[in-house]
Structure 1
Amino acid sequence: MDGEFAETGLRPPEPVGADDPRVETFRLLVGIVDRLREPDGCPWDREQTLESMTPHLVEEAHELVEAIETDQDESISDEAGDLLLNVLLVARIAQDNERFDLTQICEAICAKLIRRHPHVFGDAEAEDSAQVLDRWEQIKKAERAEADEDSSALAGIPRGMPALLRAMRVSGKAVTAGFRWSDVAGSLDKLREEMGELESALPPEALASLGSPDLASGDWKAIDHELGDVLMAAAFLSSYLGRDPETLLKRALTRFEKRFRAMETDLDGDLQRDLDELVVAWNQVKQRED
């Protein structure tokens, strides 16, 4: 790998020693995955394909995030191991199909990390994380242009990401590219503007309905459009404030569920009451939290 960077001024670090316990343990894990995929290995592991691994990767990633949110070291370690196992299975499945292997995966990510950290492995300087992220995006864009790939500032954002996370990434990249409000107030004004457009798109019968109203398809198209814009504007505002909208919504849902369950307990499970009575019960739950 040193030769790859000989003309760039970048200096890869020395690999960790073979006696490093992390190396020994990782070698054992690779050996276990190889054994599982052998002809007389585990039937389930041998049946897996890259496509069949997709839901498992998503599930394990979510379980790791949930473990981190609970701040339990044992759970975090366990779920991180499950995710690592799935990545190694992907590598071995690809190797068995002569597509790529673990060596290529590791070489590619090592080269990428060295290229995109010239302030660590070269002579460039970075005073703060904002400069690091800006340079990362610049290098990434140059690499895409050189490879004749999509060089848009919005390139590289997976469409399969949860919508709120994707909104945060899109907003962040747009801001980095220069498409930004002068301040947070501008983003808040945009949210108010979208709320006004949503209100205008809602016909009187929709505002007066208790559920999904019977509207013409044209009305629904306009409502869906404006409601989507409201959600996006709210996510963009979160991004402008430096907050993760996905995490914020998760926390809000957790609060709602906790309060709702407490209200159910207070009312002995009977929620078939006047709204005013339910609001009083809800506020009592909130007051107890304070």
Structure 2
Amino acid sequence: MDTPPVSSIVPGTPPASEPLRDSFQQLCDVIARLRSPTGCPWDRVQTLATIKPFTLEETYELLEAIDSNDNDAICEELGDVLLQVVLDAQIAADEGRFTIIDVIARLTRKMVERHPHVFGDAQANTPEEVKQNWERIKAQEKEKRHRTSILDGIPIDLPALARAARLSKKAARVGYDFPHRNMLFDKLNEEVRELTDELFPGQPVEIIPAGVEGDPVPDEPIDDPERFKRVEAEIGDVLFVIANLARRWNVNPEEALRNSNAKFVRRFRAIEAAVQAAGKTLDEVSLLEMEEYYQAAKKRE
């Protein structure tokens, strides 16, 4: 059975059952073969624990593809993420835990249960009402799992900035939050002062303008382990407040930092291109020249 062109598919239309069944079965057959005694030596020895880093890596590659808006890349990376799901489920089946059918059935049941306004009699006419229903049902599920804290259920392996925002959001739902979001700037100043006190104990901080040139001053490591821990803790506190600020303005801090990383890469590559066009190397230009190239790239953007 031929599948219709993507452009002709009506939104909300599921894929045709026969090609879906055949293609998914073929994928499951391939993964099972790789895990079989006559399959791939690498795939045979994988466990749920050893495959974790690849799952995380593929997820980030999918995010990068989505940022690029490249349909071919997005399609390929979605396939790689799906591979991780099917491979994890096959590993679990080989260990006698559960199968991919259990995974699909449980996910389907959860989606139906969490959308009673679509599959039941509940009412939800706005995205906010949908969100409230979702959280209420999640809370009921949490009680069944005997979770002891409102913070339970947030994955420890989430990127730290994203997890910070999730933790503070959970706490805010029960009232543990600044009444006014502008108060967070006072908290940020407080944390920066505490960090400064640890970095420069008992001495005033010398503020040097960023545009001033001079000989490079080497960074000095913190030799005292206890002081290092205190500095690390204060930097963590600053980042936690930043994540809170992002949350209160409905910004995903992880996505914001990803975008800033990408922006820095673009502009630094513009520096490299400008230096190369001038017939020089990076070692042959000054910091001030590189900054001029950076600002030119920024202006073009």
The TM-score bracket by the shorter chain reads 0.7 to 0.9
Using the TM superposition, give the Cα deviation of residue 228 of structure 1 relative to its aligned residue in structure 2, in angstroms.
0.9
1:153 pairs, out of 150, 153, 174, with 150
Aligned to 1:21: 19
Aligned to 2:209: none
1:270 pairs, out of 282, 289, 296, with 282
Residue 187 (structure 1) aligned with residue 192 (structure 2):
no
Aligned to 1:252: 260
Using the TM superposition, give the Cα deviation of residue 156 of structure 1 relative to its aligned residue in structure 2, in angstroms.
0.7
Residue 227 (structure 1) aligned with residue 239 (structure 2):
no
Contact 1:190 1:233 (C-alpha < 8 Å) held by counterparts: yes
Using the TM superposition, give the Cα deviation of residue 258 of structure 1 relative to its aligned residue in structure 2, in angstroms.
2.3
Q: 1:262 to 1:17 in 2, by over 3 A?
A: closer
Aligned counterparts of 1:128 and 1:106: Cα–Cα separation in 2: 28
Aligned to 2:245: 237
The farther-off stretch of 112-121 and 191-200 is 191-200
The farther-off stretch of 114-123 and 206-215 is 206-215
Q: Deviations over 1:247-269 (max 9, x none)?
A: 11111122222222323444433
Contact 1:164 1:245 (C-alpha < 8 Å) held by counterparts: yes
Aligned counterparts of 1:18 and 1:273: Cα–Cα separation in 2: 60
TM-score by length of 2: 0.79
Aligned to 1:142: 140
Using the TM superposition, give the Cα deviation of residue 206 of structure 1 relative to its aligned residue in structure 2, in angstroms.
9.6
Aligned to 2:200: 203
Gaps of 5+ in 2: 1-13, 207-216
Residue 286 (structure 1) aligned with residue 298 (structure 2):
yes
Please give the secondary structure, in 2, of the residue aligned with 1:91. helix
Aligned counterparts of 2:45 and 2:225: Cα–Cα separation in 1: 46
Q: Deviations over 1:209-259 (max 9, x none)?
A: 741355644443332222111111111111111111111111112222222
Aligned amino acid, residue 53 of structure 1: I
Contact 2:86 2:100 (C-alpha < 8 Å) held by counterparts: yes
Q: 1:192 to 1:29 in 2, by over 3 A?
A: same
Where in structure 1 do 4 or more consecutive aligned residues deviate above 6 Å? none
Gaps of 5+ in 1: 1-15
Aligned to 1:170: 167
Using the TM superposition, give the Cα deviation of residue 175 of structure 1 relative to its aligned residue in structure 2, in angstroms.
2.5
Aligned counterparts of 2:234 and 2:124: Cα–Cα separation in 1: 41
Contact 2:222 2:228 (C-alpha < 8 Å) held by counterparts: no
Structure 2 matches for 1:211-222, cutoff 5 A? 211-214=219-222, 216-222=224-230
Q: 1:132 to 1:206 in 2, by over 3 A?
A: farther
Aligned counterparts of 1:89 and 1:163: Cα–Cα separation in 2: 27
Please give the secondary structure, in 1, of the residue aligned with 2:282. coil
Give the aligned length: 273
Please give the secondary structure, in 2, of the residue aligned with 1:172. helix
Q: Percent identity?
A: 37
Tell me how large the CA RMSD over aligned residues is.
2.7
Q: 1:248 to 1:207 in 2, by over 3 A?
A: same
TM-score by length of 1: 0.82
Contact 1:68 1:76 (C-alpha < 8 Å) held by counterparts: yes
Contact 1:187 1:240 (C-alpha < 8 Å) held by counterparts: no
